[in-house]
Chains A and B, each alone.
Chain A
Amino acid sequence: MLWDLIDIIRDNWLLLLIGQYPNGPLGGFAATLILSTLSIALAFPLSILIAFARLSKNPLLLWPSTVLVYVARGVPLLMLILWVYFMVPLLIGANVPGFVTMLVTLVIYEGAFLSEVVRGGIVALGRGQMETARALGHGYFGAMLYVILPQALYNVMPSILSQFVSAIKETTLGYVINVPELTFAANQINNQLLTQPFQVFFILAIIYFLVCWTLTRLALTLERRIARKRAGMPGIPLSLNPQSQTAEL
């Protein structure tokens, strides 16, 4: 059994790592990492904009952003992927590579989720900081930029990191629209070997687990450090955040 695993890894590690690159598109673990990193990197600024819209009193901002967040949170990701997969080519009249489809979907989906995290971080600061900044003459966006966001985003860093962990797991769904990521690579191996599905998918599980577990540990460490730091900061209410922001794996 153990030898089987080692054999499979020895024969296929390159495929698992980078897919069929350079003979085909970049795939495997590299694609998974690129897809999840890029999706969070793009979703993060988007989430701040959505959070602003959700905190706004202007109905033209408030309503669409609220609908977006509720739809993204109320619909299975797989459905969103299929929607983007079938609808976007119809709308723009051209084929879209699976990787791009997956990236767009993830950015919207993660953006909606992260916006709630960011909004929570802003609300948790309380009114005092915003009020003080305004009293000093800062405009709304100046106050956000220099006073509110630096604190709010710092405080929600653990949640952002755990959203990144979710994103890594969510990239597996790219498999259904043939995005050549890690799960796709594993399935290719399985199709070649035919007789060892348990071993192949065990390896796959181990890889995901190691990466996600490491990142989750990191998030927890970060969260503890922030909690310690916050304990000494009277400006940031302790009581608003009694629970761990980071879900255990």
Chain B
Amino acid sequence: MIKFSNVNKNYGEYRALVDINAEVARGEVVVICGPSGSGKSTLIRTVNRLEEIHSGTITFDGRSVHGKMKGSELNHLRSRVGFVFQSFNLFPHLSALENVTLSPVKVNGVKQEMAREKAMMLLDRVGLSSKAKAYPAQLSGGQQQRVAIARALAMEPPAMLFDEPTSALDPEMVGEVLAVMRNLAAEGMTMMCVTHEMGFAREVADRVWFMDAGHILETAEPGTFFSDPQHARAQRFLSDLRH
């Protein structure tokens, strides 16, 4: 479904991604972890081309993401990759419902009425149908992030990417967002999640990718990764996380 082949990306001299070779199968949930600055955000942002790469290829659902293409093709491709940001990034001038309906209507040309119906369903699914008319400023962080997930789902993407979706949240709100993600995973959504929620990884992930200094050092099933990490860096990361 998502395949990285020999992907490299530099920021000037700095090598942010080094020879990335990895694959996410359809329906698979991958949790990406690693120390801060190791390239996790950069990696998932290359999947919908929010970041360019310097060499290698990335395919999404059989299509090369970084090949030559028209602007409209790239827009279409992006519309099929759900992306959830650490900082939610809801559109503050629109209500929760309008946040969810905007892109289906303006990008995909869905009729307003149908988009509304669908949006209400999605808001219900993230437990926020009562907040449809609320503006982002009137919602808690956890609620905003759940609306952001509903907004991404409204485009009916075959895969969802999460960049530390709970890192900006107060601890008591982490659970409600993880619950939504857990449901998504159970419904068979293909997911790449950058997160430090190891409980979530253990329970939901099919595989864990451990990144360090632009490399994917280790990919393993969560059971194996947590009980028997191979690399010294991974061992240190896990022991740091426990303390």
What chain A residues lie within 8 Å of B102 (beta carbons)?
A: 136, 146-147
What chain B residues lie within 8 Å of A22 (beta carbons)?
A: none
Partner of B91, one of A134, A140, A147: A147
Given A128-B85, A146-B102, A135–B78 Cβ distance below 8 Å? yes
CA distance A236 to B151 in the complex (A): 19
In B72-124, the 8 Å CB interface with A consists of: 72, 75-76, 78-81, 83, 85, 87-93, 102-103, 106-108
Q: Is B81 a contact partner of A233 (Cβ separation < 8 A)?
A: no
Q: Is A136 a contact partner of B151 (Cβ separation < 8 A)?
A: yes
Minimal Cβ-Cβ distance residue in A for B79: A137
Output the least CB separation between A64 and chain B (Å): 23
What chain B residues lie within 8 Å of A134 (beta carbons)?
A: 50, 75, 78
Output the least CB separation between A206 and chain B (Å): 40
**Does A139 interact with chain B (Cβ within 8 Å)?**
yes
CA distance A154 to B135 in the complex (A): 16
In B54-71, the 8 Å CB interface with A consists of: 71
How would residues 128 to 165 of chain A score, 1 for a CB under 8 Å from any chain B CB and 0 otherwise? 11011111111110100011001100100000000000
How would residues 146 to 165 of chain B score, 1 for a CB under 8 Å from any chain A CB and 0 otherwise? 00000110010000000000
**Does A234 interact with chain B (Cβ within 8 Å)?**
yes
Number of A-B pairs whose CB atoms are under 8 Å?
Answer: 78
Name the residue in A136, A138, A140 with the highest tally of chain B Cβ atoms < 10 Å from its Cβ: A136
What chain A residues lie within 8 Å of B85 (beta carbons)?
A: 128, 131-132
Footprint of A on B, CB under 8 Å?
Answer: 48, 50, 71-72, 75-76, 78-81, 83, 85, 87-93, 102-103, 106-108, 135-138, 144, 151-152, 155
Q: With contacts A136-B155, A140-B71 known, what are 12 further pairs, Cβ within 8 A?
A: A131-B50, A131-B85, A132-B85, A133-B91, A135-B81, A136-B102, A136-B152, A137-B75, A137-B78, A137-B107, A138-B103, A154-B93
Footprint of B on A, CB under 8 Å?
Answer: 128-129, 131-140, 142, 146-147, 150-151, 154, 229, 232-236
